[in-house]
Chains A and B, each alone.
Chain A
Amino acid sequence: MATKFDAIMARRGEIMRRALGMDYGEFELSPIAFDYEAMMADHGYSLDDIVAIQTKAGVGHTPLLELKNFTDLVRSTCEPGRGARIFVKDEAANLAGAFKDRRASVSIHVAKEKGYEGVIAATSGNYGAAVASQAARACLKCIIVQECYDSHKVGQPEIVEKARVCEAYGAEVVQLTVGPELFFHMVELLDQTGYFAASLYSSFGVSGIETLGLEVSQEMRALTGADPTACVITHAGGGNTTGTARGLKRAGATGTKIVAASVDLSGLHMASDNDFNRKSFTTGHTGFGVPFATWPDRADVPRNAARPLRYMDRYLTVTQGEVFYVTEALVKLEGLERGPAGNTAMTAAVSLARELPREATIVVQETEYTGAGKHHWAQLNFARQMGVEVRAGDPRDNQPGTVIVIPERLEQIQASDFDIAHMRRSYVRNAVKAAPAGYVPTTDDIAFLAADTNSTPAAVEAMLAELAAKEA
């Protein structure tokens, strides 16, 4: 029997079409393939246009800082000749305190241009603050829908802080208990209000992040004479990885390695009422990073503009305890008091720098603001209240939801490589599963899947053969 949930979700396509002012059907090529670049270009803004929109919105042009103390600390832990120079793009300097302002500024510009009365976004993170801040500047009404509380109305402090800041910017904040029906209610509200869907995953939002990659390339060339060897990107829903990588490529930084990084939250269920307040990270974690990479079109738009497998060269994971350690170190050694989730890439960079030669350069492309609730101390105190053990020791003993192990020494920080080949196989499996039963992928589909997974048609054919053999 169709539930209230199913009824709204069945009308989702029609509601989203009006709420985005865009027909995704135009880009569909087959039950598997769509024209990604045509979708990305459909808004008609050049990269220069987006820079102009963001400059007017008070977004972007954030400082790029060299972390000389961090670099020397890493060099103190590695073999002679190793220890890459570490730089950071201080995205906390954006208006609402995170790179998400880049994403929001383009969506709000489009909503205003198209004459919508207001905007809606489903987000528990920095994106809500960004949308609310940009909406305030554009005099648009704003509703932010959050997954905020467990069933006992215990709020995750970072999300409670995000509600506060959204309300400070004049937004209406709708707070829900745990569950994916957050998107159901967002669709219901879009239907009720006729507002614009400021989706995290629209081409507007992801195009807004391309300026970050562009700035990284331009500023590194000015500072060091070359593009960075590697750009390390905190990875969750995939927009940050996709937008930054696209911007780097558009700037001509084709040799820069794209390294995605997430906090390992394996073992915790993202829709669990019990696990919700035991995660200690609300974003930048594998709970979003893996499912969104292996099936991007699970998002609130028909086709997700964030397609991270197209761009990532490596995917590193770090533990919760390692990120808290590096967050504290960054405050004390570099004078940068920033939010822990945004320091996920910084933690991976400490490990990566040790592998690379001294001449190499690494850019960590974001930081985020911190404060009451978001602060790493707040998160660790909350973890203890929720019954999670916090202790010093070997970070290999970290167990998400049970024990957070803070390293005792810098040497213990060691990122792990996540198997991208495995993610590619999962993606291809999901793409085939989403097509009608019995549909046989064409040559064009195979070319699309190869592009969407940053592999080759031959590799995709091998994956399809493997899947068919398993089915048989």
Chain B
Amino acid sequence: MTETQQARAGDWVEVECVLLEPADRSTNLPAETAEKPLTMWVKGFAEGRAALGEPVTVETMTGRKVAGRLSAINPGYFHTFGEPIPELVHIGKDLRARLAAYRAAESVAQGASAGAPESGGA
């Protein structure tokens, strides 16, 4: 175990615990959900030293004490946008071309109906 996997008192961490064992869960759940425990993760300031997987209590942002097993130290956010979606990348180009063609046709049609008698006039 490296030093970075040890949380010290006061570190911002995440704990994991089981809220409801399968037997305590709501009835009428699909089988694949019913057979698993309802698990919870909460972040807070560690109240003591612990390594990943060891029991520790945290004080949450609202001041609650929650006991669990240490699941992350200084947990970050790594969600992203990802790569462009090939099925979407052409849409803007296609629709802009379509809009331009529609407006060009509309303006010709309007010119033909409204402007024709006046053409060449003042």
Contacts and interface: CB of A to CB of B under 8 A. Distances in A.
B87 A392 contact: yes
Contact of B88 (A153, A176, A406): A406
Contact of B20 (A5, A373, A390): A5
Contact of B39 (A3, A177, A380): A177
Contact of B30 (A161, A164, A271): A271
Contact of A273 (B32, B61, B82): B32
A142 B33 contact: no
Interface stretch (B2-10, B48-56, B89-97, B114-122): B89-97
A372 B81 contact: yes
A72 interface: yes
B19 A181 contact: yes
Interface stretch (A98-106, A218-226, A324-332, A452-460): A324-332
Given A378-B82, A380-B85, A172 B102 contact: no
Interface in B45-104: 60-64, 77, 79-85, 87-88, 91-92, 95-96, 98-99, 101-103
Given A172-B42, A272-B33, A329 B26 contact: no
B88 A377 contact: yes
Contact of A72 (B26, B32, B99): B99
B interface, how many residues as a size bin? 35 or more
Contacts of A76: 98-99, 101-102
B88 A3 contact: no
A167 B92 contact: no
Secondary structure of the B contact surface, majority rule = mixed
B62 A332 contact: no
B38 A149 contact: no
Contact of B91 (A167, A184, A329): A329
Contact of B33 (A4, A148, A178): A178
B87 A176 contact: no
B29 interface: yes
B42 A381 contact: no
B36 A333 contact: no
A271 B98 CA distance: 43
Nearest to A373: B79
B62 A118 contact: yes
A176 B19 contact: yes
A172 B91 contact: no
A174 B68 CA distance: 13
A149 B40 CA distance: 9
B25 A3 contact: yes
Contacts of B63: 141
Interface string A265-305: 00001011110000000000000000000000000000000
A269 B30 contact: yes
A185 interface: yes
A328 B91 CA distance: 7
Contacts of A307: none
A295 B120 CA distance: 68
A377 B82 contact: yes
Nearest to A120: B62
Contact of B36 (A174, A273, A377, A381): A273
A329 B95 contact: yes
A390 B85 contact: yes
A375 interface: yes
A348 interface: no
Contacts of B60: 172
Contact of B24 (A3, A157, A171, A372): A3
A174 B42 CA distance: 5
B20 A181 contact: yes
A21 to B, nearest CB: 19
Nearest to B101: A76
A167 B24 contact: no
Contacts of B26: 5, 179-181, 184
Given A193-B64, A390-B85, A333 B99 contact: yes
B88 A328 contact: yes
Contacts of B37: 177
14 contacts: A3-B25, A73-B98, A151-B36, A151-B39, A161-B79, A173-B42, A173-B43, A174-B40, A177-B39, A181-B25, A333-B96, A372-B81, A377-B88, A380-B87
Given A73-B98, A161-B79, A179-B26, 13 more contacts: A5-B26, A141-B63, A176-B40, A177-B36, A177-B37, A177-B38, A177-B39, A179-B33, A274-B30, A329-B95, A333-B95, A376-B88, A378-B80
